[in-house]
Structure 1
Amino acid sequence: MPGMLLTVLGLAATAYLALMLALWWGQERLLFEPEPLPADHVFQFGPDVQDVVIDRPDGTRLHALHLRLPAPRGIVFYLHGNAGNLQSWFSHADFYRQAGYDLFMLDYRGFGKSGGRIASEAELRADARAAWQQIEPLYAPGQLRVIAGRSLGSGLAAGLAAELQPDLTVLISPYRSMRALAAQHYPWVPAALLRYPLDTEALAARIHGPSLLLHGDQDTLIPAAHSEALKARLPQARYVRVEGAGHSDVQEFPAYLQAVREALSALVRRPQPARVSPLGTL
Structure 2
Amino acid sequence: MVYAIFSASVLLAIGAIYVGAIGWLYFRQERLLFEPAPLPLDEPICDDEDTREFFVEVPGARLSVAQLMRPNPRGVFFFLHGNSGNLKKWFVELDAFRQANFDVVMLDYRGFGKSSGQIESEEQLRSDVVAVWHQLAPMYEGKRVVISGQSLGTGLAAGLAAQLSSEGHAPDLTLLVSPYSSMKVLAAELYPWVPLQVLRYPLHTLEHAAKLLGPVMLIHGEKDELIPIRHSETLVKSMRSAQLLRVDGAGHSDVHQFPTVRKALMSALGRL
TM-score by length of 1: 0.92
Over 3 Å off, 4+ runs? none
Matched residue, 2:56: 54
* SS across alignment from 1:62: strand
Letter in 1 for 2:86: N
* Cα deviation, residue 45, structure 1: 3.9
* Cα deviation, residue 264, structure 1: 1.0
The answer on whether the counterparts of 2:119 and 2:125 sit within 8 Å (CA) in structure 1 is yes
Matched residue, 1:6: 8
Matched residue, 2:144: 144
* SS across alignment from 1:154: helix
* SS across alignment from 2:54: strand
* Cα deviation, residue 235, structure 1: 3.8
Q: Distance in 2 between matches of 1:84 and 1:61?
A: 17
From 204, 226, 250, the counterpart of 1:245: 250
* Cα deviation, residue 254, structure 1: 0.7
Where do residues 49-198 of structure 1 align in structure 2 (5 Å cutoff)?
49-58=51-60, 60-141=61-142, 143-164=143-164, 165-198=170-203
Which range moved further: 41-50 or 218-227? 41-50
Q: Which consecutive residues of structure 2, in runs of 5 or more, have no partner in the other structure? A: 165-169
Matched residue, 1:279: none
* Cα deviation, residue 140, structure 1: 2.7
The answer on whether the counterparts of 2:55 and 2:62 sit within 8 Å (CA) in structure 1 is yes
TM-score by length of 2: 0.96
- 1:47-97: per-residue Cα shift (whole Å, max 9, x none)? 111112101132x11101000000111001000000000111011211111
* Cα deviation, residue 234, structure 1: 1.3
RMSD (Å), alpha carbons? 0.8
Q: Which consecutive residues of structure 1, in runs of 5 or more, have no partner in the other structure? A: 268-282
Q: Distance in 1 between matches of 2:57 and 2:91?
A: 21
Q: Distance in 2 between matches of 1:183 and 1:79?
A: 24
The answer on whether the counterparts of 2:110 and 2:119 sit within 8 Å (CA) in structure 1 is yes
Q: Does 1:40 align with 2:45?
A: no
Number of residue pairs matched? 265
The answer on whether the counterparts of 1:45 and 1:93 sit within 8 Å (CA) in structure 2 is no
Q: Distance in 1 between matches of 2:102 and 2:42?
A: 28
The answer on whether the counterparts of 1:109 and 1:115 sit within 8 Å (CA) in structure 2 is yes
